[in-house]
Amino acid sequence: MLDRHLDAFLSNLKIVRQLSPHTVNSYKRDLTGFFSFLKKENNSWDEIRDHQVREFINRERRRGLSPRSLKRVLSSIRSFFNYLTDEEIVSSNPALGISTPKSTQLLPKALDVDLVKKLLDFKPQGDLEIRDKAMVELLYSSGLRLSELCGLNLETISIKERSCRVVGKGNKVRDLPIGEKAIQALRDWILIREKISIEGTKALFLNKNGKRLSSRSVQLRVERLGKKRGIPMISPHMLRHSFASHILESSGDLRAVQEMLGHADIGTTQIYTKLDFQHLSKVYDEAHPRAKSEKHK
């Protein structure tokens, strides 16, 4: 079968490269689609050619996949063939040299400060809403990824130091500050958590049965809270982007925002926290020694 090396490749991603379960599942999903496309050909891996990879990418594009998603799929295929090459299963990588349409750099939507205030300034009703407010406060306060929030344990939060320790992409650990309002919301939740936690449960955020809250559950609860507060279509990623945008607009410190977001490449931060041209122009005019003519100095 064409996919007989898939399990070995996925194990390599998980154990050797130490990629997150979410990333490994993305590889698996992309490659399964490619395998399904190739089954009609009944090739061995060493018989796969670049035109077949190109045909698959073109088919996915016709199906409506975005340039960004196409780039990810091609990267998955390329990585798989790199693995097969390293294992001497194939002699060359047919995905090399194939390009995808350039991705338009669409920024995630950010809430303005007034909308954040509308979302968060309320008195929660009931245990679950106390938990949900703590989650949303923390997402906005510290710019966490959804997976990072779900992975938090009780001991990774320091109320005294007003900080949390998160495990990001590539199992990289970083310590993040927590704002006072988020700290208060966490204090309220931790009191509730003590009543429903099961012995031995380390997770910070629990469902009503005392088990770790799933990513999907967090998404749904955040959406529900947003609708209740009159702000539909709220997501954890939107809160992360709002955090980054507001910090950058206030401080202008791109490196600090990069560290807090856990981006390995500052180029990612530049896209993620893109400032409008008017703001950039103002900073340039005020800071650059040759921005203005002598008569304006």
Positions marked catalytic: 145, 169, 237, 240, 263, 272
The H or E element that residue 157 is part of is: strand 157-158
How many Cα atoms within 13 Å fall on the side-chain side of residue 179? 15
Q: What is the dihedral of CA 21, 22, 27, 31, to 10 degrees?
A: 100
Q: Are residues 276 and 283 in contact, defined by beta-carbon separation less than 8 angstroms? A: no
Return the amino acid letter for 18.
Q
3-state secondary structure of 153: strand
Helix, strand, coil percentages (3-state) for the chain, rounded to 5, are: 60, 5, 35
**What number of residues does the chain have?**
297
Determine the Cα–Cα distance for residues 54 and 151; give it in Å rounded to an integer: 38
